[in-house]
Structure 1
């Protein structure tokens, strides 16, 4: 067991969890333009931390059995992305013997520290998520790691390829797995997920009148090409000295932020979309802009991903499996963000972005999205962006041993995103972010002070 100042990790087992024979969902699933957009984006990594009311071997047995059973309904997660020379586009293919690679490990890290809200070294979380096997010609869709912290608790780390799952699909899978596992823990018979939650796989419902699929495929093939069919993801450098913090806005904080914006809004500005999301992200954007100590000139960028299932014409089922998010971005002068009415300025431009989804359509400008993402990755741009949503209700995910002590999106250390979820304490929201220690300490101070002054 290798020792270092981050604690130690010992791998106990690596196995493949396969779905039962005869699974009925498609063994081959083509990618749509929504999926192809994220084709080479870094995987999404989430961690769920739980207390251990049972012996670890019993926990592990139930997790393995339920994972196998739920995969029969989520068969693409057991497969891999391939892009043969004979195929015009990539697809997920699942063959006999495929499955999700499960790593079982134990750690002597301090569980209570990892699930706290205070500053934690990001390097202590990284060993808890499984590495996704991504090669030039084959990319696994999902990998899982279950780590025991002895009597302290355990974590479930889920690493998923971004080209297959968006946040809604990923969360639906986790909840289906947890529900099935909880039933096994309680001694019940194995049951399928409820019919209304079953994933919807029909790709014919995704209309592409603008030919976005062809545009995106041409862009990826030319990148490092010609005819570059590599499945390798962008190589994103993660600084070794990052710290992670958790910050909360309770219902009273959110209400005060809304009232502040409405009192000080620009009179000539169109009606605002003043919601929990807009004031949370506006306030976070302002605090990061103050905390990083950058010169007052220049701009600070903000981007957001929005679930488009209900915004398309015709709309897609809420259980549609795959990616169905659209992106919007904006830049604002840093001087405006750090000014006395910075939150107001931020809410106004975020509100405008949300309104553009309705006025211009969710796919307006979509032909440029791949080139913008690729340029950002090449230049290591990390604007403040969003990951997660309070609507996912991740703190309700109960595998049979209670709700999570903490849920983290580890991959925000690679993207610079801010993770937002509902608060575990009930009411309000929880914000996760990573930065170097001095910036994170500044952010914590600015975040607390700003709330006191509302």
Structure 2
């Protein structure tokens, strides 16, 4: 359907051929969360006005310190804000580090390639056409004075790069060597799950729209979950996280401080145990 200018077909086949056989069974047991679990879920709701104020602040501040803002979207500014707050909330006394680790942190998300001019996938195509986007920043930049701005510039640059060649570097990302590297850095990888463009709260199977949407694997994967807002105007965004009670308390304090510095009213939030 699309021209394979990067030779991905042979790379995929080689990876599949060299991969060990897998037994078609669940890789982990299914069980209820223990009653003494200290994990809590946190849901943050940013209104359209709050998001627009965050975009304006990020654009102005990036320009003043010489950082490029190639793409300022709701996705970019929201992920930047939450990513920085989560990294800052980590307890250095309990964090497991690799002696070879250079303290780089990774943000990984999927992007839809169907409407990218480079691929020209037919409008009649029915199915997934996704690429993996990968942003990597040093910890010192994320936790520094301009951490959110550094994240905005890096994530925005990755999203903007999709306009050119959305599959650029894909052969390296899916390689076995890269997966092993990410495995070693699992403590430092944050995955984005969901998207506000999926409009989950508009879903109606005959008994009304959902009151709350959850992505269950977020607890174990350490993911940031994004969706549209049920009771907000279009342009708002809902963010879900699952952290330990201690880290969540620190995360909330840091988030309030960051928003206060930007002069944004503390957003509506829901906090509950798992």
Q: Distance in 1 between matches of 2:88 and 2:82?
A: 10
Q: Give 1:446's aligned residue.
A: 254
Q: Distance in 2 between matches of 1:220 and 1:328?
A: 21
1:104-143 alignment, distance < 5 Å: none
1:186-205 alignment, distance < 5 Å: 205=1
Q: Distance in 2 between matches of 1:445 and 1:416?
A: 19
Q: Give 1:220's aligned residue.
A: 16
1:324-403 alignment, distance < 5 Å: 324-359=129-164, 361-370=165-174, 371=176, 374-375=179-180, 378-379=183-184, 381=186, 383-403=189-209
Q: Distance in 2 between matches of 1:234 and 1:375?
A: 18
Task: Note the C-alpha offset of 1:398.
Answer: 0.9
Partner secondary structure for residue 306 of structure 1: strand
Unaligned runs of 5+ in 1: 1-204
Q: Distance in 2 between matches of 1:333 and 1:377?
A: 15
Task: Note the C-alpha offset of 1:281.
Answer: 0.5
Partner secondary structure for residue 240 of structure 2: strand
Residues 1:258 and 2:55 are matched in the alignment: yes
Q: Give 1:285's aligned residue.
A: 83
Q: Give 1:419's aligned residue.
A: 225
Instruction: Show CA shifts across 1:58-100 (max 9, x none).
Output: xxxxxxxxxxxxxxxxxxxxxxxxxxxxxxxxxxxxxxxxxxx
Instruction: Show CA shifts across 1:135-164 (max 9, x none).
Output: xxxxxxxxxxxxxxxxxxxxxxxxxxxxxx
Task: Note the C-alpha offset of 1:271.
Answer: 4.3
Task: Note the C-alpha offset of 1:303.
Answer: 1.6
Instruction: Show CA shifts across 1:266-305 (max 9, x none).
Output: 553344311111100100111111111338x822211221
Unaligned runs of 5+ in 2: 94-101, 263-274
- After superposition, the Cα gap between the structure-2 partners of 1:313 and 1:260, relative to the gap in structure 1 and judged at 3 Å, is closer
Q: Distance in 2 between matches of 1:255 and 1:372?
A: 40
Partner secondary structure for residue 128 of structure 2: coil
Q: Distance in 1 between matches of 2:248 and 2:42?
A: 7
- Greater RCO (CA < 8 Å, at least 6 residues apart): 2
Query: Structure 2 length as normaliser, TM-score?
Result: 0.78
Task: Note the C-alpha offset of 1:397.
Answer: 0.5
Task: Note the C-alpha offset of 1:396.
Answer: 0.3
Q: Give 2:238's aligned residue.
A: 430
Task: Note the C-alpha offset of 1:348.
Answer: 0.6
Task: Note the C-alpha offset of 1:207.
Answer: 3.7
Q: Distance in 2 between matches of 1:384 and 1:372?
A: 19
- Corresponding residue to 2:71 among 268, 273, 278: 273
Alignment length, in residue pairs? 246
| Contact 2:108/2:190 (8 A) holds in 1 | yes
Q: Distance in 1 between matches of 2:244 and 2:88?
A: 14
Q: Distance in 1 between matches of 2:104 and 2:192?
A: 18
Q: Distance in 2 between matches of 1:342 and 1:236?
A: 38
Instruction: Show CA shifts across 1:426-447 (max 9, x none).
Output: 2310001122221122222322
Query: Structure 1 length as normaliser, TM-score?
Result: 0.49
Please tell me whether Structure 1 or Structure 2 has the larger radius of gyration of its CA atoms.
Answer: 1
